[in-house]
Amino acid sequence: MNYLDIRTECVAANKALQAAGLIDLTFGNASVLDAAEKVFAIKPSGVPYEELVPESMVIVSLDGTIVEGDLRPSSDEPTHRRLLQAFMDRGIRSVVHTHSRNAVAFAQAEQSIPCLGTTHADYFNGSVPVTREMRPDEVNRGYEWETGNVIVETLGKTDPNEISAALVRSHGPFVWGSSGPKAVEIAIALEAIADMAVKTLSLKPKASGAPDHIRKKHFLRKHGAEAYYGQPK
């Protein structure tokens, strides 16, 4: 098989990250899952975005076997794989990692991004969490795989469709969604709300944030069972 559908979707997602200004150099990657075949496509390591074509995507199984591809997959492949394993039963098909600057600022400051207003609540039903510091044994044992584990640990029982991003402490954001385009959209939204949060907290460091009833209203009107934002499908 050549897995053309997920290869094409993966290329488009990676290029969209660059077009959105979320990527410096080659600092970022996207993956897209074929849940039925239990394989995913992911960007090859270090390849410039303008050179990406469907054929250059690496196909990896959920057990870590390279199924197709002549190039080395992204060094973050084990993190993508761990998140897809953990969240695929909730409809998650795509993972995005960037070093977008405002989100990274929160990760480096070891702070979650608080829900300060309705723009945030339109995408995340609460704060975007930051992980704990990774221990030396985790880094030495399998850094990228354990990065995925610490994200899963941080989310706990939280629905990954309600909080669809996490900040890895000292590193940066990982985001997920039901498709490549959706994961990219969430990554763009994450950087926007991180930028707004930096500015808000610089003006009012103890800003109380959106009250729960406003947060829930904005999230559920867009994502809830009776959502009414946008047009009927």
**Active site positions, annotated:** 122, 229
Residues 183/6, Cβ–Cβ less than 8 Å: no
Residue 127 CA from chain centroid, whole number: 15
**Token output for 6:** 């997920």
Whether the CB-CB separation of 184 and 96 falls below 8 Å is answered with: yes
Task: Write the DSSP string, 131-171.
Answer: PPPPPHHHHHHHHHHHHHHHHHHHHTTS-TTTS-EEEETTT
Structure token pair of residue 158: 């939280």
**Is residue 97 classed as helix, strand or coil in its secondary structure?**
strand
Both tokens of residue 78?
């084990």
d(CA 174, CA 107): 11
Q: At what angle do helices 136-155 and 77-87 cross, to 10 degrees?
A: 30
